[in-house]
Amino acid sequence: MLMEKERLLLIAYGKKLVEAGLTKGTGGNLSIFDRAHGQVAITPSGIDFFEIQPEDIVIIDLDGQVVEGKRVPSSEWAMHIMPYKYRDDIDAVIHAHTMYSTVLGCLRQDLPATHYMIAVAGENVRVADYATYGTMELAKNAFEAMKDRRAVILANHGLLAGAQDLLNAFNIIEEVEYCAEVYTKARAIGEPVILPKEEMELMAVKFKSYGQRVSTKKD
């Protein structure tokens, strides 16, 4: 079975998305890129995260063709593959239907730097132009809006994040959603103060080490 370790990670983090309240039902999808072999392990379409078995994970190539697996890969496979093809800093992608980021996506409003932890993703998080889910148009829109960032809000849809591994992609989802919640609630009371560009440039330097997660678990 190809990418056995990666299959287990996808299952574990899919469950974590639900347990952390970052997605609902079968909403969202996860993938890991094996750059050495040009293969992607991705969660299947329409199966509850708590029911997915290792053999349900689908292995596809960078053209979306199934290499191994009997299930249908996530309908958002193209959105996962775009950063793997054209960026060298992303080897894991998570898409989730988070609450507060989606609220901003419905307002078509970027998430500004009201909290310094947004630096895990960039100086802000943009909202990508709307397109129907599972389309190449959505994949391209998300890719463009995520340039120089590690996360993007999908208009009227959800949140997408990418990182060097699944641990850090999950961390970005968590932190961006936290920042979105803080910003949304602050707006309900008054006008949030946005951190200046100079401060976010400093955060970008500091977060080269501070914002990175490292697993302490042994294989």
pLDDT digits (tens, 9 = 90+) for 72-81: 999 999 999 9
166 lies in some domain: yes
Percent of the chain with pLDDT over 70: 95
**Which DSSP symbol is given to 111?**
B
Residue 38 lies in a domain: yes
Q: Give the integer Cα–Cα distance in Å for 74 and 87.
A: 21
| Tally of structural domains, the chain | 1
The 10s digit of each residue's pLDDT in 95-119 is 999 999 999 999 999 999 999 999 9
184-198 confidence digits (pLDDT tens): 999 999 999 999 999
Whether residue 76 is contained in a domain is answered as yes
How far lies 132's CA from each of 128, 156, 161, 186, in Å? Answer: 12, 10, 19, 31
Determine which one of 51, 55, 76, 201 is catalytic: 76
pLDDT classification of 205: cutoffs 50, 70, 90? very high
8 A C-beta contact, residue 41 and residue 3: yes
Q: Indicate whether 214 belongs to any domain.
A: no
Contact 125, 160 (CB under 8 A): no
Is 217 a domain residue? no
Q: Active-site residue 201, yes or no? A: no
- Domain of residue 101: give its range: 4-206
Q: What is the pLDDT of residue 212?
A: 67
Q: Which residues of 50-83 are buried (b: 16+ CB within 10 A; e: fewer)?
A: eebeeebbbbbeeeeeeeebebebbebbbbbbbb
pLDDT band at residue 208 using 50, 70 and 90 as cut-offs: confident
pTM greater than 0.85: yes
Tell me, yes or no, whether 219 lies in a domain: no
For residue 48, the domain's CATH number is 3.40.225.10
In a domain, 141, yes or no: yes
Please report the pLDDT score of residue 32 as a whole number. Answer: 98
Sign of CA dihedral 198, 201, 206, 211: positive
pLDDT digit string (tens) for 3-24?
A: 999 999 999 999 999 999 999 8
CA dihedral 109, 131, 6, 218 (to 10 degrees): 0
